[in-house]
Structure 1
Amino acid sequence: MMRFLFSIALIPLGLAVGLGIRNIIRTQKNKDALTEKIRKTMQIVVLLFTNPVAFAGAVWALPLENLEIMILPVLGFLAIAISGVYSIVYTRNKKMTRPMRGSHFCVSFYTNIGSIGALVIYALLGEPGFILLPFYKLVEPLMYFAVGFPVASLFGEEKHKDKRSILQILKDPFVMVSMGGIFLGLLFNLLGLPRPAFYSGLNNILVPLGSFLLLISIGIAMHFQSIKKYALSTTSILTIKYILVPLTVTTAAYILGMGRIMNGLPLKVVFILSSMPSGFMAIMPASLYNLDLDYANTGWLASMIALVVVVPWLYFCLNYIIPYLI
C-alpha cells in the first residue's frame, strides 16, 4: 500500500514541480529556449538512460517458459490501433472541423505507457507486473511514427506530410536505445545469465525517477487556457481512452487466455496499460500539421486530470473484479 500511495503521489507532485519551474522561467528573457532546453534534457535522460536500463532489467527477469506472453505486443498494437479507429468513427459525422477531428485522433491514438503506465504498473503490481510492460509496448514506436503521423497529416496540410520510412524510424536514437534495452535484456535472458541481485533495488529507483522526470517535463508544458472551451467535447476522448479501449483489449486478452497464466498477471497488465491517458506526443503531430492545437492540449490535459478517478478505479478492479476472471 505504501508503494502504491508513494507512486501515485508522484503524478500530481511531478506536474506541480513542472508548473512551478515554468512560472520561475517565465520571468527570464529567453524563457522559451530555456523551457525547451530543460524539457528536452529531462526527456533525454529518461528515454536514453533510465527507461532502457529499467526495461533491460525487466526483460532479463521475464519467465520465458510462458510463451503465451508473446501475445502482449499484439494486444499493445490492438490498444493503440483501436483507439484511432474509435476516434475516426466517432468524429466522422460530427460537426467538427477537419483540424479538430485530426486533434481528436491524435489525443485518442497516442497513449502514455512509458511514464504514467510504468508508474501505475509499478504502484499496483510491483516489479512482477513491470517486467511485462516492455513486451506490451514493443510495437509502440512503429505505430506512433509509421501510422499516427501519416494519418494525422490527412487532416492537416499535405506539405508537412511526414515521409519517413520504416528504416528511418528504426534509426531514431530514442527508438534504437529503447528497443536495444529490451533486446539486450532478452538476450541475457535467453543465454541464461543470472540477473544481478541489485537490479530489483535499482528498478525501485529508476522507475519512479524516470516517471517523475517525465512528469516534470509535462508539467512545464501544460496550458489551461482552453480547458473551459472544450471541456464538454473532450468527454468523448475520455470515453474512448478509459472505457471503450480497456473493455475491448481486456476482453481480447481474456479470450486469448491471459488470465490463465502467471496467476493472471498478463491480464492485469493489459487492463492497466490499456487504461492510460493520452501521451504528450499527441501534441507533436497536432502542431506539425496545423491541427487544432488548443483542442489537442485540452483533450490531453483532460485525460491526465481524469487519472484522479481512473487510478482508484483500477485499484478497485484489480482487487475485486479481475480476480473473478482468473
Structure 2
Amino acid sequence: MDRLIITLVIIFASLAAGYALKCRVAVNAAPDSLRKFDAMRIKIQKIAMFGLIPISAMLSLWGLPAPAPRLLFLPVLGLCAWMTGGVSAIMLSRFLSLDRRQTGSMFCCGSFTNIGAVGSLVCVMQYGEQTIALASLYRLCEEFFYFAVAYPIARWYSLPAESAPRLDFTAFRMEPVLKAVLMALSMGLALNLFGVPRPDVFGTCASASMIAGTICFLLSIGMGLRLSSLASYLRESACLSLIKFLIVPVIIITAASLLGLGSIDDGLPLKVVAILSAMPVAMNALIPPSIFHLDLDLANSCWIITTLALIIVVPVLYAVLPAL
C-alpha cells in the first residue's frame, strides 16, 4: 500500500506542480515571460528524455543477468501492443463516425503509450531496479515504430480522402530522441555482453535516475496542460480508455503468458508486460496532431483523461499483479 501511495503521489504531485506553475505564470504575464516559461518547460522535458531516462536504461541493462532467450519476445510484444492500440482506435473511430482528422488523432492516442516515464516508474516502485532493463527491452522498437510507422499514418489521415496518396513508410529519419535511446541501450548492452562488472551503487543510480526523469517529464507535462477542451470529447476519451486499459492489456498479457514469460524469474517479465501494456496515452501523441493539423483538442483530451485514470488503473494493477 505504501508503494501504491508513493507512486500515485509522484505522478499527480508532479503534474499538479507543473500546472500550478503554468497558472501562476499565466496570471498577468507578459508575452516575454510566457516564452521563457515555455522554453523552460522544453528544457526540463529534454533533461528527462535525453538524459535521466536513457541513463537509467543504460545502467539497468548493464547489470541485467544473462537473459532467458524468451525475453527476446519483449520487443515483439511492445510492437504488438502499439499496433493493437492503433488499429483498435481506427476501428473505434469508424464506429463513432469520426472524420479523418479525428481518426488520425485517435490512432496516435491508441498507439502512443507512456512507457518510458509512468510505466517504468510503476514497475520500479513495485518490483525494483531490475524491471528497468525489462521495460527497456519491451520498448526497444518504440521510437522506430513511432517515427517509421505512426507518423506516416498520422500524416496520411491529415489529407482529404479523395486526394490521399498511398501510405509511404520510406521517409524514416533518425530523430534526436531515437539516437539518444539507441546510444544508451547500445552502451548498456555492450558493457553487459563484454562482462564489465557494474558497481553496486549504479543499481541505486538507475532507480534514482528513472524516478527523477519521471518527475521532470511529468512536471513538464503539467506545465503544458490544457483543460479547456475536456468536456467536448468525453465520449471519445472514455472509449479510448477501454482500448488502453482493457483491450490492449488483455491481448498482450494473454500473448505473454502463452509465450512462457510467466515461468521466468517468478513471473517478473509477465508482470512488467502487464504494467506496460496498461499505461495511458503518451505526451508525444500530441506531436503528430500538432504538426499534421489533426484534431489536437481530441488528442489532448484523450491524453489528459487516460492520465487521470491512473488513479484507478494503478491500484487495480497492484491488486491483480500478484495473481499473474
Instruction: Provide TM-score, normalisation by structure 1.
Output: 0.93
Instruction: Classify the secondary structure of the residue corresponding to 2:236.
Output: coil
In the aligned structure 1, how far is the partner of 2:321 from the partner of 2:95? 36
Q: Superposition RMSD on alpha carbons, in Å? A: 1.8
Which residue of structure 2 aligns with residue 153 of structure 1?
155
2:59 paired with 1:57: yes
**Partner amino acid, structure 2, of 1:18:** G
Q: Deviations over 1:71-114 (max 9, x none)?
A: 10000110111111111122224321221111111111111111
Aligned to 1:181: 184
The residue aligned with 2:311 is 308
Matches within 5 A, 1:163-312: 165-166=171-172, 168-169=173-174, 172-312=175-315
Q: Tell me if structure 1 keeps the 8 A contact 2:233–2:298.
A: yes
Given that 2:281 and 2:303 are in contact with CA atoms closer than 8 Å, whether structure 1 keeps it comes out as yes
> Is the 2:57–2:206 Cα contact (8 Å) retained in structure 1?
no
> Secondary structure at the residue paired with 1:131?
helix
1:96 match:
98
Shift in Å, 1:232: 2.3
| Structure 1: runs of 5+ lacking an equivalent | none
CA distance in 1, matches of 2:193, 2:31: 53
Name the stretch that deviates more: 116-125 or 308-317: 116-125
Between 1:31-40 and 1:44-53, the stretch displaced more is 31-40
Whole-angstrom distance in 2 between the partners of 1:245 and 1:107: 13
Match of 2:130 in 1: 128
Structure 1 partner of 2:117: 115
Tell me if structure 1 keeps the 8 A contact 2:149–2:169. Answer: no
Q: Is the 8 A contact 1:42 1:217 kept in 2?
A: yes
| Deviates further, 72-81 or 60-69 | 60-69
Distance in structure 2 (CA, Å) of the matches to 1:40 and 1:240? 30
CA contact (8 A) 2:237 2:301 kept: yes
**1:7 match:** 7
1:196 Cα offset (Å): 0.9
Identify the residue that residue 22 of structure 1 maps to in structure 2: 22
CA contact (8 A) 1:8 1:123 kept: no
Count of aligned pairs between the two proteins: 317
Aligned mates of 1:208, 1:249 — CA distance in 2: 26
In 2, the alpha carbon distance for the partners of 1:262 and 1:93 equals 42
Give 2:285's aligned amino acid: A
Per the TM alignment, residue 31 of structure 1 is displaced from its structure 2 partner at its CA by 4.2
- 1:233: how far off? 2.5
Provide the rounded CA distance (Å) in 2 between the counterparts of 1:94 and 1:53.
42
Tell me, which stretches of 5 or more residues in structure 2 are unaligned? none
Deviation at 1:3, TM superposition (A): 4.2
Contact residue 117 and residue 276 of structure 1 kept, 8 A: yes
CA contact (8 A) 1:157 1:290 kept: no
State the Cα distance separating 1:22 from its structure 2 match.
Answer: 0.7
Residue by residue, what CA displacement relative to the aligned partner does 1:289-308 show, whole Å, maximum 9, x if unpaired? 11111111111111001001
Confirm or deny: 8 A CA contact 1:43 1:217 kept in the other structure: yes
Aligned residue number for residue 50 of structure 2? 48
Return the alpha-carbon distance in structure 2 between the equivalents of residues 85 and 235 of structure 1.
17
- State the Cα distance separating 1:314 from its structure 2 match: 0.4
Instruction: Tell me the amino acid that sits aligned with residue 117 of structure 2.
Output: S
Q: 2:235 is paired with a residue of what secondary structure?
A: coil
User: CA offset at residue 162 of structure 1?
Assistant: 9.1
**1: CA distance, partners of 2:6 / 2:150:** 34
Structure 1 position 198, deviation (Å):
0.8
Write the letter of the residue equivalent to 1:10: I
Query: What TM-score, normalized by structure 2, do the two folds share?
Result: 0.93
Q: Which residue of 1 aligns with 2:36?
A: 34
Amino acid at match of 1:7: T
Cα shift at 1:32: 4.0
Aligned 8 A contact 1:10 1:212 in 2: yes
Q: Tell me the distance in 1 between the aligned counterparts of 2:96 and 2:8.
A: 36
